[in-house]
């Protein structure tokens, strides 16, 4: 890409692959990829521009054994922030995570080890979560004497329901493995590397038309915030734009001429 300069990132490792898929890696393994303010700013800059910069899909990963330990508690403690300062910290987290969820570029999170607190908030802003056998989810905020501030009350409740989220933060309850998938914390679980599986999924998503992916990875979230009547209306508008895009004609023609793959059950 001409416009994304991996060298301009210090907290994130950015790698472009030849199909427009980018690997974005939290790169602070010695601190278990805890999210300091500088990392959040780099997430804002990457995801604010990803669609415009032609990014087709993203694998979001963490260096080391843990995806992300959440808020940098040491930075938070040392800075002894005022309420006003921490409100603004949280607003930057929301800026980053909203750019992810609503940005129109498919984001596949490759999860392992701790996916906790703000790390779970970050993961929940991705569109797809893949876990390996080591991954575990928790909201330790309750025990730390704090509260969520990066959208867990919205996105984690959406994934697992309000009552389970309350249990997680109140009790420090940990979910992992197949149970985490059954509850909706992740959509895929693998015996092997979650990174390899996430990359496979990103490569697959990158084969869709970018405007279709834009609708999937932006409109669905927006429409879910609306009343049913308004969502149905807005869905028709989105479909009006997406379903008539010139780039779709070749795919429709292939179906009409019987050269396109048919949808079949899993074997
Ligand atoms: C950190 C952080 C962190 C590790 N902030 N420095 N999040 C939490 O409450 C999770 C806190 N972390 C842990 O429970 C554990 O560190 C882990 C389970 C993630 C990893 O355990 P382990 O045994 O591999 O590592 P460790 O020895 O605990 O930590 C290694 C180093 O990472 C150590 O630093 P060092 O300089 O002493 O080597 C730790 O201090 C550092 N580290 N986690 C800062 N979180 C917008 S509101 C969001 C609310 C939240 O996210 S609350 C945070 C929830």
What would the pLDDT profile of 7-37 be if each residue is shown by its tens digit?
999 999 999 999 999 999 999 999 999 999 9
Return residue ranges of the chain for CATH 3.90.226.10.
6-205
Ligand 1, from 11, 27, 29, 32: best to mutate by most atoms within 8 Å of Cβ?
Answer: 32
Q: Is 71 in the pocket of ligand 1 (CB under 6 A)?
A: yes
Task: Band the pLDDT of 75: cuts 50, 70, 90.
Answer: very high
Q: Cα 30 to chain center, whole Å?
A: 23
Cα 91 to averaged position of ligand 1 atoms, centre (Å): 22
Say if CB 125 and CB 68 are below 8 A apart: no
SS3 172: coil
141 is catalytic: yes
- Written as six digits, the tokens of 215 are 């609708």
Contacts of 64 (CB under 8 A, 6+ apart): 29, 30, 32, 33, 113
Say if CB 65 and CB 97 are below 8 A apart: no
Report the share of the chain in percent with pLDDT over 70.
99
Task: Band the pLDDT of 3: cuts 50, 70, 90.
Answer: confident
- Written as six digits, the tokens of 90 are 């949280």
Q: What is the pTM of this model?
A: 0.98
Rounded average pLDDT over 66-86: 98
Q: Is 106 in the pocket of ligand 1 (CB under 6 A)?
A: no
Give residue 152's pLDDT. 98
Cα 34 to averaged position of ligand 1 atoms, centre (Å): 6
63 is catalytic: no
Return residue ranges of the chain for CATH 1.10.12.10.
210-256
Q: Is 141 in the pocket of ligand 1 (CB under 6 A)?
A: yes
Q: Which fold has domain 210-256?
A: Lyase 2-enoyl-coa Hydratase; Chain  A, domain 2 (1.10.12)
Rounded to whole angstroms, the Cα distance separating 15 from 24 reads 7
The CA R_g of the chain, rounded to the nearest whole Å, is 19
Closest Cα to atom 47, ligand 1: which residue? 149
Buried b (16+ CB within 10 A) or exposed e, 36-70: beebbebbbebbbbbbebbbbbbbbbbbbebbbbb
Give the right CATH number for 6-205 from 3.90.226.10, 3.20.20.450, 3.90.1720.10, 3.30.930.10. Answer: 3.90.226.10
Tokens 């979910």, residue located: 175
Tokens 């969502």, residue located: 231
């Amino acid at each position: 890409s001409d416009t994304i300069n991996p060298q301009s990132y210090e907290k994130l490792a950015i790698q472009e692959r030849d199909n427009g898929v980018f690997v974005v890696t939290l790169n602070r393994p010695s601190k278990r990829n805890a999210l300091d303010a500088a990392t959040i700013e780099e997430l804002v800059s990457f995801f604010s521009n990803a669609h415009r910069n032609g990014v087709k899909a993203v694998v979001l990963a963490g260096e080391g054994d843990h995806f992300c330990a959440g808020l940098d508690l040491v930075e938070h403690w040392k800075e002894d922030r005022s309420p006003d300062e921490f409100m603004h910290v949280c607003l930057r987290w929301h800026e980053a995570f909203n750019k992810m969820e609503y940005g129109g570029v498919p984001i596949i999170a490759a999860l392992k080890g701790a996916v906790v607190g703000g790390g779970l908030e970050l993961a929940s802003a991705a569109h797809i979560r893949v876990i390996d056998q080591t991954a575990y989810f928790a909201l330790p905020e309750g025990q730390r004497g704090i509260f969520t501030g990066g959208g867990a009350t919205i996105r984690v409740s959406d994934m697992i329901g309000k009552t389970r989220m309350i249990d997680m933060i109140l009790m420090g309850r940990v979910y992992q493995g197949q149970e985490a998938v059954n509850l909706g914390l992740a959509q895929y679980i693998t015996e092997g590397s979650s990174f390899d599986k996430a990359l496979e999924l990103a490569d697959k998503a990158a084969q869709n038309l970018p405007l279709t992916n834009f609708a999937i990875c932006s409109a669905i979230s927006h429409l879910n915030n609306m009343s049913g009547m308004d969502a149905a209306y807005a869905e028709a508008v989105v479909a009006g734009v997406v379903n008539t895009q010139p780039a779709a004609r070749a795919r429709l023609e292939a179906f009409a001429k019987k050269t396109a793959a048919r949808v079949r059950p899993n074997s």
